[in-house]
């Protein structure tokens, strides 16, 4: 069996694979920016498998604290026992830790990220008195979507400038067509009009729509069609309804679909 057989499918769109490999090799943290459903999570999953490192993913939210990442004392049968959080576990194991939507996390999270993302590469655990030194195989990857954040929810320069950064966007049609076909099993010839429609809808971003149709939604749509659903119904459920709640905008999107698909 070839070595790559177990790798999650990821179609590179630019030089992001090489960048990730360099970052890993030189122990530099990496920031991925890009719209929802454009392949960030899939990319990290693929790279972790490619580099043979375990992956610990944390979806950040506005209640996420430093202790959720580092760990805490928990009651276990009358005793209090220290329990590592996902970041600490990743540091101990030399794994890749992926913090998704990192801008959502509480401010105190930056306090643990800073010493880990400069040349010290240490994780001080205040509660246990330990200071962990990150092994060479440990890597921190974070991502966020610059699109729908309000201005207050962005990274401070002192955090942002600790990371190499790469911007993701939806793949060009020549790449997105095979991606959608591979993921859904729908033949490429039937994916072509869906990708054309997605790009027509993406052109409306900023005017009527907050975010363009994601590759993820295109795959949903192609999957429904592949399983026998009528294309018009699948398009409405996967490419139109998820984008808006506004009836006028929806009517406009349906017109774009009619015009684009002829």
User: 16: how many CB neighbours lie within 10 A of its CB?
Assistant: 19
Q: How many CB atoms lie under 10 A from the CB of residue 99?
A: 25
Residue among 24 and 98 whose Cβ is closer to Mg ion? 98
Binding interface with ligand ATP (CB under 6 A): 9-11, 13, 34, 36-42, 100, 145, 171, 179, 183, 215-216, 219
**Residue count at the site for Mg ion (CB under 5 A)?**
1
The residue among 84 and 176 lying less far from Mg ion, judged by its C-beta, is 176
- The residues facing 124 across adjacent strands are 131
State how far Cα 109 lies from the chain centre.
19
Q: How far is the CB of 248 from Mg ion (least distance, A)?
A: 30
Contacted entry of Mg ion, ligand ATP, none for residue 110, CB cut-off 5 to 8 Å set by kind: none
Min dist. Cβ of residue 13 to Mg ion (A)? 16
In the complex with ligand ATP, the residue whose CB is nearer, 7 or 254, is 7
Binding residue (CB under 5 A) for Mg ion from 7, 8, 27, 41: 41
Residues 143 and 40 sit within 8 Å (Cβ to Cβ): yes
In this complex, which beta carbon is closest to Mg ion, that of residue 41 or of residue 223?
Answer: 41
E strands, the chain, where? Answer: 30-33, 55-59, 71-76, 79-84, 96-100, 122-125, 130-133, 139-144, 164-167
- Binding-site partner at residue 88 among Mg ion, ligand ATP, none, CB < 5 to 8 Å by type: none
Q: Which of 41, 149 has the CB closer to Mg ion?
A: 41
Q: Does 57 bind Mg ion (CB under 5 A)?
A: no
The answer to whether 122 and 115 are in contact (CB under 8 A) is: yes
Q: How far is the CB of 224 from ligand ATP (least distance, A)?
A: 15
10 Å CB burial of residue 134 (0-12, 13-18, 19+) is buried
CB-nearest residue to ligand ATP: 39
Nearer to ligand ATP, 88 or 145 (CB): 145
Cβ–Cβ contacts within 10 Å for residue 172, how many? 12
Binding partner of 145, given Mg ion, ligand ATP, none, CB within 5-8 angstroms per partner class: ligand ATP
Q: What is the smallest separation between the CB atom of 142 and Mg ion, expressed in angstroms? A: 12
Q: Are strands 79-84 and 164-167 parallel, antiparallel or unpaired?
A: unpaired
| Signed CA dihedral, 243, 248, 251, 256: sign only | negative
The site for Mg ion (CB under 5 A) is made up of: 41
């Amino acid at each position: 069996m070839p070595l790559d057989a177990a790798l999650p499918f990821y179609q590179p769109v630019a030089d992001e694979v090489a960048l990730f490999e360099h970052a890993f090799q030189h122990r530099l943290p990496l920031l991925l920016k890009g719209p929802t459903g454009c392949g960030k999570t899939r990319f990290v999953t693929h790279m972790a498998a490619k580099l043979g490192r375990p992956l610990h993913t944390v979806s950040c939210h506005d209640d996420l604290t430093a202790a959720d990442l580092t760990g805490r004392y928990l009651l276990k049968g009358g005793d209090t026992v220290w329990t590592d959080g996902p970041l600490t576990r990743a540091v101990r194991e030399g794994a890749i830790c992926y913090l998704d939507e990192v801008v959502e996390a509480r401010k105190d999270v930056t306090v643990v990220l800073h010493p880990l993302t400069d040349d010290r590469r240490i994780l001080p655990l205040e509660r246990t008195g330990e200071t962990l030194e990150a092994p060479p195989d440990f890597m921190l990857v974070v991502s966020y979507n610059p699109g729908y954040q309000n201005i207050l929810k962005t990274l401070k320069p002192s955090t942002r400038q600790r990371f190499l950064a790469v911007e993701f966007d939806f793949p060009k049609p020549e790449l997105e067509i095979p991606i959608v076909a591979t993921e859904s099993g729908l033949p490429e010839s039937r994916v072509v009009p869906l990708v054309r429609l997605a790009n027509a809808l993406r052109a409306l971003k900023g005017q009527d729509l907050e975010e363009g149709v994601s590759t993820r939604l295109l795959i949903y749509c192609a999957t429904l069609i592949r399983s026998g659903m009528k294309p018009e119904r699948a398009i409405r459920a996967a490419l139109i309804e998820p984008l808006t709640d506004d009836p006028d905008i929806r009517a406009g999107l349906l017109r774009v679909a009619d015009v684009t698909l002829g």
